[in-house]
Amino acid sequence: MSRRRCRAPSTRAGSWGTRWRTPTGPPSPELDALLHGYGHEPIHVTGDDPVQIHRALAEAFDRALDTIAGIQRAARDSDGSGIGSGTGDEAGTGDEAGPGDGGAADGRPRWPVIVLRTPKGWTGPAEVDGKPVAGTWRAHQVPLSGVRDNPEHLRQLEAWLRSYRPEELFDAEGRPTADVLACVPEGAERLGATPHANGGLLTRTLPIPSLDNFAVPVDKPGATMHEPTRVLGGLLEQVMRDTADRRDFRLVGPDETASNRLDAVYDASGKAWQAQVLQVDEHLDRHGRTMEVLSEHLCQGWLEGYLLTGRHGLFSCYEAFVHIVDSMVNQHIKWLKTSRSLHWRAPIPSLNYLLTSHVWRQDHNGFSHQDPGFVDHVLNKSIEVVRIYLPPDANTLLSVTDHVLRTRDYVNVVVAGKQPCYDWLSMDQARVHCARGAGTWDWAGTENGDREPDVVLACAGDVPTQEVLAAAQLLRRHLPELAVRVVNVVDMTRLLPAADHPHGMSDFEYDGLFTTDKPVIFAYHGYPWLIHRLAYNRAGHDNLHVRGYKEMGTTTTPFDMVVQNDLDRYRLVMDVIDRVPGLAVRATGVRQRMADVRTRHHAWIREHGTDLPEVAEWSWTG
Amino acid sequence: MSRRRCRAPSTRAGSWGTRWRTPTGPPSPELDALLHGYGHEPIHVTGDDPVQIHRALAEAFDRALDTIAGIQRAARDSDGSGIGSGTGDEAGTGDEAGPGDGGAADGRPRWPVIVLRTPKGWTGPAEVDGKPVAGTWRAHQVPLSGVRDNPEHLRQLEAWLRSYRPEELFDAEGRPTADVLACVPEGAERLGATPHANGGLLTRTLPIPSLDNFAVPVDKPGATMHEPTRVLGGLLEQVMRDTADRRDFRLVGPDETASNRLDAVYDASGKAWQAQVLQVDEHLDRHGRTMEVLSEHLCQGWLEGYLLTGRHGLFSCYEAFVHIVDSMVNQHIKWLKTSRSLHWRAPIPSLNYLLTSHVWRQDHNGFSHQDPGFVDHVLNKSIEVVRIYLPPDANTLLSVTDHVLRTRDYVNVVVAGKQPCYDWLSMDQARVHCARGAGTWDWAGTENGDREPDVVLACAGDVPTQEVLAAAQLLRRHLPELAVRVVNVVDMTRLLPAADHPHGMSDFEYDGLFTTDKPVIFAYHGYPWLIHRLAYNRAGHDNLHVRGYKEMGTTTTPFDMVVQNDLDRYRLVMDVIDRVPGLAVRATGVRQRMADVRTRHHAWIREHGTDLPEVAEWSWTG
């Protein structure tokens, strides 16, 4: 790639050299210490003379780029691990670090960082209304605020703008002069055309193997259990393997890959690590594409930057702590929304979150680790960019992940458990269910098709799905004449009106699925009012009764978590009895039995420290 | 305060000295550089011998506390600024820094930091299943996971627990021995009883002057304009002044106190600053209680810690960027919820946010600075701890702030503008309106009391209030026969059912205020679906139509922001015409005129860069 050199600017400064306050003193030793502490080698560019700074900054960039190139060369020479093409998509990601000049004791290189210090408000007015401005804190906002009413301000503004000598930059028609145009790069070197700034141009379709190779076999619902994220780990391992040469897929996470049971990926690509390796360490890899650091901020920053270069990734995170990056994802969503309206911007791979170790299973960690609100947060933003998935089991998690890894320009949030969970759907069933996003599970309900159901039990999320199925089974036994429909929702935006989201259901479909006049008891993974916020415009909204997490619970048994939040099977049966017309009086005995189990549960867990046998050993029998 | 010395523990380690892997190598120079970069002097305590570590850590604490005391002494000796009592509530807040040993070049002291490095999993099993555990990453979670089924694991667990020699610690009845009890402090030195850990015991009522001294005079609504936060600045200045001796009130913010127009406080207490002072600097104060740093994380951390000591504070922040601390406020709310259930925990001053520079007035900053979602975020959490206020003008902001500064154990979020805003209510009117939290503004509506209104125009927030009043004025002119009720909501939790929040309105009151069957057009400051989430259980919910921010807009005129989000007066009038039965056909001419103004607005701002004169010069004429 040839670098075309522009002429250095003429000394336009005039009296600038004396006008600007010199940045005070030498570079701060504390700042250098801080940057060294972060593993960097600072390069300082300091001054107030534009020509000198221009040259010094160019030299600093040359030096920094040479240092980076040297580090990369050393890394490639020291082990021939198949990286070598030196394509742009590897530069500067830090994954090829090796011993370089000025490296740390353990052989890590010190990456350069440029510290540029020029006067604040450089080229602006030195004084306004008798007070110093350029080079001081006063230059931070609008330096000349009175140009409409204050002739002196207007005069200063004119002098400031004229100091750029526009007559040398533009011709009589206001066009840039030939000198200026000679500095404009051409073709792919233009800022808006270089693939370095428009990474979607470089995006290649991710190779995703057939899900059938990783699916768990399901002959009948609820007969087996798997850890959904562990099953997903198999798929991700293969994606890692199939991108070994292309190196365009990474898994990032706050030191939780193994905790989130995705550790199969280590067999294909270890944890990126350039420092000392101890004998007990495992899965550390100088070229690893599993990126772990206990900082959600760094994870988010790494992945955002990586996606902007056109490559693919997945951020796996404890559900509660992804709020740490709320503010960062806001800006990425704003960027995507705006970017999608610019025809020349090529779509980039979506920002994919896998939220696990979720609110319902914090047996060890407790209240501080319970927060399902990230879904609410992102749904507030530009909603056309956002997708939310709550797969209820292993195969649906495979299907959803397969989908989100193929999408572009979205923020996809997938919430799934890592604890053993019943397998409800075969891979084929999972595929159609996830494509549909929501649907009835005929095998779980007791409709016979000759009339509308008496009640709809809806669920979204793995734990709510299990509770709804257990409730359906209790209703089947205790109130066999009741026509119960079970609806599972995977794609939360299906609940939105069709006009509000590309996935939104038409009213025809929604009214058919949920009815317009029957009670709907909805067991949701997160804050219950989110369902009302999505469905408030629907005809049947007044009949919608939602159970979900309401900031109850602590370090306790899994079932006690749902009891404390009124999401448990017994409470759901009581809700049905309370809301189906005519049932309250007739089924009061059943209701009472349900309430009694909750009471026995309370005493039992205190005595035994485990859940009631009928809960712990529950399984779906149809 | 006497320190009672316990006997040093006997050498309980047995073979420990050889069992634990020594933390490898000397302290990392990079870590020291990082800590130096942050202005600290590290004190290292490293080892694997419990007795040695116990003594070294005690010495490290003594050294650190002596250093802190020395820094404080030097600061007090070097200027006699009235700080001197050395009460606990000043210790360690860093506001009395002066030259100490090992200080920085500009005379700042280096505060000590203790770096304790012991083996991970210390005292735990050295090996499990033939793999090293103690001193390695494997010690991070449950080191012996198979104690129920694996006899060897159970044996190791028993050996581990017995290594603590419980027979020396407990007597035959399981009571701690006299030796152990001799180490337990008494009275206020107990962890749960010391005011250092139960700061509410030290809380004093904040002196808040009469609001009448700061209120803006309002003879009739909408005749004058003020910047609400600037008016509030006067009150805060006086609070600063009145706490000069007690020093128990601080204002924190990410370098935005002046930008948020609260700079009057500087006259009472400047910005806390210990480093070099340049000639151009203003309002820097070694003892200042205005805490500024461009890190929302630091601001939040400072204020949380300060409140936990029983003192008072206010966090003023750009509305959009307070999301940076979403995860931190989560944990504070969880702490407050739990703390309130412990009878021995004294209430502490509330965590108060003033969110300003809000979504509707980002003329310079644009899309990246627009996010009103913090309210939604905190309303998801333990709601009994949360209060949300949207004062519509200067006097209501005074009343709300006066209230929140008096409360305990809450998280109060106040959203208010800094731009000039019409004054609607006198101080007296503001007081009763804010105490009520929501109410009709008779003077703004056109009800005559002999029948129910045809439509309710509701508003919450300063900009929506102005748009609703402008819409009411348009309706008065164009559809004089229409009975319009104007409702303003200051306290958002009033909209919740009484059962869900201490401030929630009874259905009687809500139905009276909003009607059960008339259209309610609600102009809300933030995301519109929040209102549905609060009010979905109300009888009139199906008639509720909410306008608010929907992620539209960029760097544009103030009125264009509301037009782009369909919150403008003309759109609100169209909403009324669309939703009041019988009006659509009859008032089609009015509707058309409203749509036409929006079209003219679009062309006008492109030509003139300012809002339409009829908008820019609009005022309330009744």
What are the tens digits of pLDDT across the range B514-560? Answer: 999 999 999 999 999 999 999 999 999 999 999 999 999 988 999 99
Q: Is B157 within 8 Å of B147 (Cβ atoms)?
A: yes
The answer, yes or no, to whether residue A175 has pLDDT greater than 50, is yes
Q: Which of A243, A299, A237, A303 is nearest to A267 (CA)?
A: A237
Q: What is the pLDDT of residue A193?
A: 85
Q: What is the pLDDT of residue B18?
A: 36
Average pLDDT over residues B584-596: 97
| Class (C level, CATH) for A207-421 | alpha beta
Among chain B residues, the shortest Cα distance to A369 is held by B331
Query: Is any Cβ of chain B less than 8 angstroms from the Cβ of A192?
Result: no
The answer, yes or no, to whether residue B92 has pLDDT greater than 60, is no
Distance CA B85, CA A427 (A): 72
Instruction: Write out chain A residues lying below 8 Å of B381, CB-based.
Output: 373, 551
Q: What is the pLDDT of residue B362?
A: 78
Q: What is the pLDDT of residue B16?
A: 36
Average pLDDT over residues B20-49: 82
Q: Give first-to-last CA distance, chain A, whole Å.
A: 67
Q: What is the pLDDT of residue B82?
A: 35
The answer, yes or no, to whether residue B26 has pLDDT greater than 70, is no
Q: In CATH, what is the architecture of B200-421?
A: 3-Layer(aba) Sandwich (3.40)
Write the pLDDT tens digit of every residue in B522-535. 999 999 999 999 99
Beta-strand runs (E) in A282-398: 284-285, 290-292, 312-318, 351-356, 386-389
Among chain A residues, the shortest Cα distance to B130 is held by A280
Q: What is the pLDDT of residue B363?
A: 72
Query: Is any Cβ of chain B less than 8 angstroms from the Cβ of A31?
Result: yes
Fold match between domain B16-199 and domain B438-616: yes
Mean pLDDT of chain B: 91
Query: Across the interface, which of A280, A334, A377 has its CB nearest the CB of B367?
Result: A334
Distance CA B164, CA B203 (A): 41
Count of residues for chain A?
622
Q: What is the pLDDT of residue A75?
A: 83
User: What are the residues whose beta carbons fall under 8 Å from the beta carbon of B588, sequence distance 6 or more?
Assistant: B577
Under an 8 A CB cutoff, do B24 and A278 touch?
Answer: yes
Q: How confident is the model at residue B105 (pLDDT cuts 50, 70, 90)?
A: low
Query: Across the interface, which of B323, B331, B529 has its CB nearest the CB of A326?
Result: B323
Q: Which two tokens stand for residue A269?
A: 């690509």
Q: Which two tokens stand for residue B325?
A: 């601390």
Q: What is the pLDDT of residue A276?
A: 86
**Right CATH number for A439-616 from 2.102.10.10, 3.90.180.10, 3.40.50.920, 3.40.710.10?**
3.40.50.920
Write the pLDDT tens digit of every residue in A1-45. 333 444 444 444 333 333 334 454 556 889 999 999 999 999 999
**Right CATH number for B438-616 from 3.40.50.920, 3.20.20.70, 3.40.47.10, 3.10.20.600?**
3.40.50.920
Write the pLDDT tens digit of every residue in B182-218. 999 999 998 888 998 999 999 999 999 999 999 999 9
User: What are the residues whose beta carbons fall under 8 Å from the beta carbon of A575, sequence distance 6 or more?
Assistant: A521, A545, A547
CA distance B326 to chain A (A): 6
Under an 8 A CB cutoff, do B323 and A327 touch?
Answer: yes
Sheet holding B520-524, edge to edge: B438-440, B484-489, B455-460, B520-524, B544-547
Q: What is the pLDDT of residue A89?
A: 37
The answer, yes or no, to whether residue B377 has pLDDT greater than 60, is yes
Neighbours of B606 (CB within 10 A): 9
Domain ranges of chain B: 16-199, 200-421, 438-616
Q: How confident is the model at residue A103 (pLDDT cuts 50, 70, 90)?
A: low
Sign of the torsion angle spanned by Cα atoms B503, B504, B509, B513: positive
Count of residues for chain B?
622
Instruction: Write out chain B residues lying below 8 Å of A529, CB-based.
Output: 533, 536
Query: Is any Cβ of chain B less than 8 angstroms from the Cβ of A295?
Result: no
Q: What is the pTM of this model?
A: 0.92
DSSP-based three-state secondary structure for B44:
strand
Q: String of b and e for A579-603 (b: at least 16 CB within 10 Å)?
A: bbeebeeebeebbeebeebbeebee
Q: What is the pLDDT of residue B364?
A: 78
Average pLDDT over residues B14-23: 39
Q: Is A95 within 8 Å of A120 (Cβ atoms)?
A: no
State percent of chain B over pLDDT 70.
Answer: 91
DSSP-based three-state secondary structure for B16:
helix
A66-80, A402-416, B129-143: which has the minimum mean pLDDT? A66-80
Q: What is the pLDDT of residue B141?
A: 79
Higher pLDDT, B62 or B23: B62
**Right CATH number for B16-199 from 3.30.70.2860, 3.30.70.20, 3.40.50.620, 3.40.50.970?**
3.40.50.970
Q: What is the pLDDT of residue A1?
A: 34
Average pLDDT over residues A438-467: 96
Mean pLDDT of chain A: 91
Cα B527 to Cα B245, B373, B466, distances in angstroms: 43, 7, 18
Rounded to two decimals, the ipTM of the complex is 0.91
User: What are the residues whose beta carbons fall under 8 Å from the beta carbon of B83, sequence distance 6 or more?
Assistant: B76, B90, B96, B247, B287
Write the pLDDT tens digit of every residue in B127-149. 999 999 999 989 987 889 899 99
Q: How confident is the model at residue B103 (pLDDT cuts 50, 70, 90)?
A: low
Average pLDDT over residues A150-179: 95
Q: What is the pLDDT of residue A27?
A: 64
Q: Which of B552, B592, B549, B541 is nearest to B567 (CA)?
A: B549
The answer, yes or no, to whether residue B340 has pLDDT greater than 60, is yes
Query: Across the interface, which of A29, A331, A373 has its CB nearest the CB of B380?
Result: A373
Q: How confident is the model at residue A76 (pLDDT cuts 50, 70, 90)?
A: confident
The answer, yes or no, to whether residue A153 has pLDDT greater than 60, is yes
Q: Which two tokens stand for residue A317?
A: 């995170």
Average pLDDT over residues B258-278: 93
Average pLDDT over residues A332-337: 97
A76-90, A141-155, A254-268, A319-333: which has the minimum mean pLDDT? A76-90
